Amino acid sequence: MAFNIYFKKVGYVYQPNSPFEFKALTDISLSINKASVTAIIGHTGSGKSTLLQHLNALIKPTSGVVKIGGQEISNKTNNKNLKYLRQKVGIVFQFSEAQLFEETVLKDVAFGPQNFGFSKEEAEIKARFALKQVGIAKELFNRSPFELSGGQMRRVAIAGILAINPDILVLDEPTTGLDPKGKMEMMAMFYRLHKKYKTTLVLVSHSMDDVVYFADFVYVLEKGKVIKAGTPAEIFADSSWLKEKQIELPTAGKFSLKLQEKGIKFKQLPLTIEELTNQLVDYIFYKQENINE
């Protein structure tokens, strides 16, 4: 099954026909390609988390259709038909370590595969492999997950999702609460899994550095609507528009703007450290050649 993802005019309303009715999504139409890394960005309240919950039918559209692979999900879809989809789409929520509950690391990670019908022995094989993928040492397998560090606990929780072999991995602020080194290691781990297994990644993050370093394509949400879509370079090209929409430039982009104010000219605004370094080298050589002439 080719797990391309399509949203067609999807709307979602919380508590419809009540005094607390709230329209979270309006006419969302987008597509996410198989084996891509797609980022969903926008300030708080833009509808990002609501959109993500549609990806494995934690919630179903109030209107419109979500199509994942060959399966369509609408407000009429029977929950009995969603088990296979939920095995193929894993969601890593913020503070995913809060979902740990078993007495040992191995049992916790094996729970998911057993819940999807694998035997205890098969589930443990999958759990051991998943724990290896996230860098948890064998000597920790029989420890209580609650004896581990915060970073290790999060890796165990992620292993529990990987153990069901999802084709799509949905990341909802997966590095929240981690230190800078832990954030980089976590994102590098997800990207490594993406490259090795062709896993489709859907990323929601407030870190624009994560977006420019890892995403192939970006959707910007505002008040439940898609207001812009494109590559990271296209999304971050207009700094005035980003400021208006309360979206930060990545770190290298912000530094580059300060350099522009001091008279350094760039062919296009650098968004990563590598791009900034390369353009600065070109600029220095260009200036030196002009001086020599």
Helix axes 273-292, 251-261, angle to 10 degrees: 30
What range does the domain containing 257 cover? 249-293
d(C-alpha 161, C-alpha 73), whole Å: 22
pTM, full prediction: 0.91
Does residue 188 form part of some domain? no
Q: Compute the distance between CA of residue 108 and CA of residue 27 in angstroms, rounded to an integer.
A: 39
Q: What is the pLDDT of residues 194-245, one digit of tens each?
A: 999 999 999 999 999 999 999 999 999 999 999 999 999 999 999 899 999 9
Q: Give the span between the Cα atoms of 161 and 177, in whole angstroms.
A: 20
Vertex 213, ends 258 and 94: CA angle to 5°? 105
Nearest to 54 by CA among 67, 41, 45: 67
Is 147 part of any domain? no
Please report whether residue 272 resides in a domain: yes
* Residue 162, burial from CB neighbour count under 10 angstroms (0-12, 13-18, 19+): buried
Q: Would residue 290 count as lying in a domain? A: yes
- Give the total residue count for the chain: 293
- Residue 43 in any domain: the answer is no
Rounded-to-integer distance, Cα 54 and Cα 146, Å: 31
239-287 tens-digit pLDDT: 899 999 999 999 999 999 999 998 888 888 999 999 999 999 887 877 6
- Cα angle, residue 66 at apex, residues 61 and 67 outer, rounded to 5°: 155
The total domain count for the chain is 1
Contact between 219 and 232 (Cβ < 8 Å) = no
60-75 pLDDT tens trace: 999 999 999 889 999 9
> Within a domain: residue 293?
yes
* Residue 48 placed within a domain: no
Residue written as tokens 């999504």?
25
Return the pLDDT at 1.
40
Residue 4 lies inside a defined structural domain of this protein: no
Q: How far apart are CA 109 and CA 91, in angstroms?
A: 15
